[in-house]
């Protein structure tokens, strides 16, 4: 898109990590839907999250066929949350839709989302009616996570909505002004507020390959969500400590009284050892939880950028400078220099 033309009506942000097998199917499903959008232009913004397969080649081929396709390639795998944030930084549209590359978020729903936006919604969530593909374990842990999050954050976190959603430009700008580096997007998107509307859909299985988010990554994401949106776990240890201190005081009083009344009897090693073990265990857990928060403060204070861009294509230079000033410190954009004297035409 050139600098002087109007921004597109819609930006579709697609984070991709090793999705080479699925890009063609994605193209076929997405393009007809976007071509049907009546009153405005669109851009497809692919963020290649350091893929190690042919994803980038597929993306470049797609851009060769369709100039509305723009892409940013990150210098390594930074994770989906960072890739999505990158997409939000670079998106130019008046509305933004975040879509998975594996067709688990059906592009056919986009017109319905646009309709809700036209009716005044700032955020349109896609609520998953069914998760046939996922194991019972994933479904159960997901349900538990949303429940815990809602209680801890003191604000209902919509259950069974993924990152697939439409957002108005002002929501995106609000999101980009949140300065934290640990970006739990579902939480952040919930935090900013605005007028929310929901549509229902049935979540299909992956088009190709298996989930790129392992159990361990999801666990870390859950931990991230809880620690970055709630200090309740920290407070809980305060209450627990208070409770046990009170119980300890009562017990100590009882021992004093008993000693005064009946004299000293043989000391009980068993109860002593048990108490010692129990309380040192409690202390270790509490230190661990404090450590989780401390680690996050540590990461925030280092103030590193969220991701590093290797290269990109399809953006006007002044737009990028504009955006990177707005989101100070979040972007590293190495300036590319020609490798050999004659080679001036590389990069965006």
Residues at the interface with Mg ion (CB under 5 A): 100, 102, 104
How many C-beta atoms surround the C-beta of residue 174 within 10 A? Answer: 18
Distance between CA atoms of residues 117 and 119, nearest Å:
5
In three-state secondary structure terms, 339 is coil
Q: Please identify, using beta-carbon distances, which residue of 5 and 220 lies nearer to ligand UDP.
A: 220
Q: How far is the CB of 103 from Mg ion (least distance, A)?
A: 8
Nearest distance from C-beta of residue 175 to Mg ion, angstroms: 22
Contact window for ligand UDP (CB under 6 A) among 95-103, 164-172, 229-237, 300-308: 95-103
| Identity of the residue, 53 or 313, whose beta carbon is nearer to Mg ion in the bound complex | 53
Measure the CA–CA gap between 75 and 226, rounded to whole angstroms: 28
Find out whether 100 and 13 touch, Cβ atoms under 8 Å. Answer: no
Q: State which residue, 57 or 133, has the beta carbon closest to Mg ion.
A: 133
Q: Are 233 and 226 in contact (CB under 8 A)?
A: yes
Angle between helices 269-302 and 232-262 (to 10 degrees): 160
Of 198 and 211, which CB lies nearer to ligand UDP in the complex structure? Answer: 211
Residue 101 or 121: which CB sits closer to ligand UDP?
A: 101
- Closer CB to ligand UDP, 218 or 282, in the complex: 218
Residue by residue, DSSP assigns 31-85 as: HHHHHT--SS-EEEEEEE-S-SSTHHHHHHHHHHH-TTEEEEEESS---HHHHHH
List alpha helices for 154-231, DSSP H.
169-176, 185-191, 215-229
The partner in contact with residue 19, picked from Mg ion, ligand UDP, none with C-beta cut-offs of 5 to 8 angstroms by kind, is ligand UDP
Beta carbon of residue 157, minimum distance to ligand UDP (angstroms, whole number): 16
Touching ligand UDP, residues 33-52 (CB under 6 A): 49
Q: Which option in Mg ion, ligand UDP, none does residue 164 bind, with CB closer than 5 to 8 A by kind?
A: none
Q: What is the dihedral of CA 93, 204, 66, 167, to 10 degrees?
A: 0
| Binding-site member from 213, 245, 294, 321 for ligand UDP (CB under 6 A) | 213
Q: Of Mg ion, ligand UDP, none, which one sits near residue 49, judging by CB under 5 to 8 A according to partner kind? A: ligand UDP
| CB of 127 or CB of 155, closer to Mg ion | 127
Determine if 83 is a binding residue for ligand UDP (CB under 6 A).
yes
Q: Can you tell me which of 1, 10, 13, 16 binds ligand UDP, judged by CB under 6 A?
A: 16
Q: Given the rule CB under 6 A, which of 12-20, 37-45, 275-283, 300-308 is the region that contacts ligand UDP?
A: 12-20
Q: Under the criterion CB under 6 A, does residue 104 sit at the interface with ligand UDP?
A: yes
Give dist(CA 316, CA 287) in Å, integer: 49
Pairing type for strands 69-74 and 123-130 reads: unpaired
Alpha carbon distance 246, 252 (integer Å): 10
What angle do the packed helices 55-65 and 23-35 form, to 10 degrees?
Answer: 30
- Cβ 268 to ligand UDP shortest distance, Å: 53
102 binds ligand UDP (CB under 6 A): yes
Binding site for ligand UDP (CB under 6 A): 15-17, 19, 49, 77, 79-80, 83, 100-102, 104, 206, 211-213
């Amino acid at each position: 898109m050139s600098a002087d033309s109007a921004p597109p009506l819609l930006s579709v942000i697609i984070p991709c990590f090793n999705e080479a097998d699925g890009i063609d199917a994605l193209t076929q499903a997405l393009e007809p839907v976007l071509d049907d959008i009546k009153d405005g232009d669109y851009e497809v913004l692919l963020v290649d999250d350091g893929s190690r397969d042919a994803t980038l080649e597929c993306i470049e081929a797609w851009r060769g066929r369709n100039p509305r396709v723009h892409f940013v390639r990150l210098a390594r795998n930074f994770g989906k949350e960072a890739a999505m944030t990158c997409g939000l930084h670079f998106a130019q549209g008046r509305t933004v839709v975040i879509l998975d590359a594996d067709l688990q978020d059906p592009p056919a729903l986009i017109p319905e989302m646009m309709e809700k936006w036209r009716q005044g919604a700032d955020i349109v969530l896609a609520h998953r009616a069914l998760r046939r593909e996922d194991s019972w374990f994933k479904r159960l842990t997901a349900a538990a996570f949303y429940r815990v999050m809602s209680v801890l954050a003191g604000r209902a976190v919509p259950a069974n909505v993924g990152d697939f959603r439409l957002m108005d430009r002002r929501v995106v700008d609000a999101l980009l002004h949140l300065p934290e580096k640990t970006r739990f997007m579902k939480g952040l998107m919930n935090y900013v507020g605005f007028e929310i509307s929901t549509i229902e859909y049935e979540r299909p299985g992956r088009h190709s390959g298996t989930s790129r988010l392992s159990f361990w990554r999801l666990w870390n994401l859950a931990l991230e969500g809880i620690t970055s949106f709630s200090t309740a776990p920290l407070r809980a240890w305060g209450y627990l400590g208070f409770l046990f201190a009170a119980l300890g005081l009562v017990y100590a009083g009882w021992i004093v009284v008993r000693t005064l009344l009946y004299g000293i009897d043989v000391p009980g090693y068993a109860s002593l050892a048990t108490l010692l073990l129990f309380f040192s265990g409690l202390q270790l857990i509490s230190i661990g939880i404090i450590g989780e928060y401390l680690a996050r403060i540590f990461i925030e204070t280092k103030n590193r950028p969220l991701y590093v861009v290797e290269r990109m294509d399809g953006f006007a230079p002044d737009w990028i400078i504009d955006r990177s000033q707005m989101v100070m410190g979040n972007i590293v954009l190495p300036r590319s220099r020609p490798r050999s004297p004659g080679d001036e035409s590389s990069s965006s």
